[in-house]
């Protein structure tokens, strides 16, 4: 089984080429153009057990908003394409990630309906070259465009880097569980018969 999603998105503000291989395990290849986000995407790809190839460019002379949000959009759309009709997938995924003094819980339902809840607060304005307010925007864009219910709850934590890192690690692990598929199972995991 090979599940792959790809997208090219070009606007007046950004240009993103993205491929997401759910069965491959090479990690994050390429760049978003934002150092801290590259670090987070490396963690996410590693812990989801996937390969994400990314060539991202944007108007970073303005700020990171357009590129970060568009990356979330592209990841969500790639995931939808890679999952296809969702036959045989687990659908649900959950993971609680400790990261030093931080504990983060992520829950996912690949329901076909986009909804995002984020309960965390970052105190710093930036982590490296990444505006911290953009973490919420990225997760929202990913959830809505990936048509999933995504709940991110930081139970406690003090260090903003640890909080962000624990979110991306837990997101990767929860998604790894949710997309797991049995190729001998052709059932849609829903009483509706469609996701």
Tell me the per-residue pLDDT of 105-128, one tens digit each, with 9 for 90 and over. Answer: 999 999 999 999 999 999 999 999
Tell me the per-residue pLDDT of 3-54, one tens digit each, with 9 for 90 and over. Answer: 999 999 999 999 999 999 999 999 999 999 999 999 999 999 999 999 999 9
Q: How confident is the model at residue 104 (pLDDT cuts 50, 70, 90)?
A: very high
Burial class from Cβ neighbours inside 10 Å (0-12, 13-18, 19+) for residue 126 reads: middle
Domains of the chain with CATH codes: 4-179 (3.30.230.40)
Tell me the per-residue pLDDT of 137-165, one tens digit each, with 9 for 90 and over. Answer: 999 999 999 999 999 999 999 999 999 99
Residue 1: the pLDDT is: 79
Distance between CA atoms of 186 and 3, rounded to whole angstroms?
15
């Amino acid at each position: 089984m090979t599940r792959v999603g790809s997208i090219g998105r070009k606007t007046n503000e950004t240009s993103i080429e993205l491929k997401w291989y759910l069965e491959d395990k090479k990690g994050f290849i390429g760049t978003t153009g934002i150092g801290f986000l590259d670090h987070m995407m490396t963690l996410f790809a590693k812990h989801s057990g996937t390969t994400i190839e990314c060539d991202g460019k944007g108007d970073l002379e303005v700020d990171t908003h357009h590129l970060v949000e568009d990356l979330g959009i592209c990841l969500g759309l790639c995931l939808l394409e890679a999952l296809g009709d969702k036959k045989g997938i687990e659908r649900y995924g959950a993971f609680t990630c400790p990261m030093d003094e931080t504990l983060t819980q992520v829950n996912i339902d690949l329901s076909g309906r986009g909804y995002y809840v984020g309960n965390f607060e970052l105190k710093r304005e930036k982590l490296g070259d990444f505006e911290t307010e953009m973490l919420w925007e990225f997760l929202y864009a990913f959830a809505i465009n990936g048509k999933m219910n995504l709940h991110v709850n930081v139970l406690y934590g003090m260090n903003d880097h640890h909080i962000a890192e624990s979110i991306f690690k837990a997101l990767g692990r929860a998604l790894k569980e949710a997309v797991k598929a049995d190729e001998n199972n052709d059932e849609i995991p829903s009483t509706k018969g469609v996701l």
